[in-house]
Amino acid sequence: MILEELFSLHKEQTIGGRYLTLESITPLLKKLNTNNQVEVIGKSVFGEPIYSYKIGTGETRIYLWSQMHGNESTTTKALFDFINVLNSGSDFANKLLEKFTFCAIPMLNPDGAKLYTRENANKVDLNRDSQQLTQPESKVLRAAFEEFKPHYCYNLHDQRTIFGAGDTGKPATVSFLAPAYNEGREINESRMKAIDLIVVMNDVLQDYIPGQVGRFDDSFNINCIGDTFQYLGVPTVLFEAGHYPNDYEREITRKYIFFALISGFKALSENDIVVSGINKYLKISQNKVVFYDFIYKNIKINYDGIEIITNFAAQYKEELIENKICFTAYVTEVGELENHYGHFEYDAKGAEYTDDFGGFPKTSQKADFYLNKNIKFVNGLIKR
């Protein structure tokens, strides 16, 4: 199976970028609802419908949900790409549909998606509400879980650009986690199934993004939905769609999430899972906060009449302006920045820094400045 060709053939062309709302996916759901596979299973705080989509007749039940955090849309795109495969009529699709029954919630938090926020409309992080179930969206997710009784759960998220894959100096383009089920972070049968599945997906991704797969922190928090479902005995896999160089729209990362979904389900359908892959799992680099969007090195600044050479970093803030996501770069740190990397790095080689704000970089100011008064940077990048 050639994954690149499969993705090109089935990529859902009507959705893209970072800002994905219920309005974006409603036409897709209508198109998919050929035999009452789409169902409204609840409402959000603002009264927006929360949809599920079911397909397949197999005994193994797979439960997937995306955009629990409204501003995390990459896995939603990949999920629709995967659904297109299931509806393709191919031998591979028919094999998956005979083996599995899929229940997907493509957008759990439509209010947060519209507002482009992590939280829901009540400013609650749904991924910290799995025990109290104070929010309507949390109740919907749990009720569907209890009704569907899945054999596997897929918890689909995005992560920020700050994460690297261990000390490799490479971004964590895709990260996984088999969540803990107790404080001791022990390995039981359920968690081992999730671990073995992650090992399969990582083995495939290493052929495409070597060194760019991370393993998320497994500290136990029963308030997180993945930890709760693992605690309840259902193998649960956390997906984190991260940064690929120059891919702030997450269209390349989308492809690798698709690759992971396809390869994992292929292995499950063929019973081609290496049992007890804990050693391979632990060799996946642990996620570390080691990246900035921009690092500027060897900058000369005049600080209270004293010239010094230093470094500084800037980070994009994603801002929703007129229904578009704008990336605005702000200075975040000044100093040595030891053991950190930039997705964009610039060595000024002692060039003098000036700006229109006060003469030296200060945190929270926009990354608009000059070097030697003749190289202009606007929004973090050199203006040509």
All CATH 3.40.630.10 domain ranges of the chain, comma separated, are 3-289
All CATH 2.30.40.10 domain ranges of the chain, comma separated, are 291-382
CB-CB contact of 7 with 258 (8 Å): yes
Provide the token pair at 160. Answer: 């920020």
Helix (H) or strand (E) holding 205: helix 189-205
Q: What percent of the chain has pLDDT over 70?
A: 100
Closest CA to 161 of 68, 305, 291: 291
Query: Which 3 state secondary structure label does DSSP give 250?
Result: coil
Closest CA to 196 of 272, 255, 269, 256: 272
pLDDT at 302: 87
Number of neighbouring beta carbons within 10 Å of residue 340:
19
Provide the token pair at 179. Answer: 């969540």
Look at the domain 291-382 and name its fold: Urease, subunit C; domain 1 (2.30.40)
Given a cut of 80, whether residue 140 has pLDDT beyond it is yes
Q: How many alpha carbons fall within 13 Å on the CB side of residue 61?
A: 13
Name the average pLDDT for the chain: 97
Given a cut of 90, whether residue 201 has pLDDT beyond it is yes
Dihedral over Cα of 284, 287, 292, 296: its sign = negative
Q: What percent of the chain has pLDDT over 90?
A: 95
Beta strands in the chain (DSSP E): 38-43, 49-56, 60-66, 100-105, 152-158, 163-165, 174-177, 213-215, 236-241, 285-289, 291-303, 306-321, 324-335, 341-347, 353-354, 369-371, 375-378, 381-382
pLDDT digits (tens, 9 = 90+) for 292-343: 999 999 999 987 788 999 999 999 999 999 999 999 999 999 999 999 999 9
pLDDT digits (tens, 9 = 90+) for 216-272: 999 999 999 999 999 999 999 999 999 999 999 999 999 999 999 999 999 999 988
Given a cut of 80, whether residue 139 has pLDDT beyond it is yes
Given a cut of 80, whether residue 1 has pLDDT beyond it is no
For 202-207, what is the mean pLDDT? 97
User: Residue 384 — very low, low, confident or very high, per pLDDT cuts 50/70/90?
Assistant: confident
Among the four given CATH numbers 3.40.50.720, 3.40.50.620, 3.40.50.10440, 3.40.630.10, the one describing domain 3-289:
3.40.630.10
Contacts of 42 (CB under 8 A, 6+ apart): 49, 50, 136, 137, 139, 140, 143
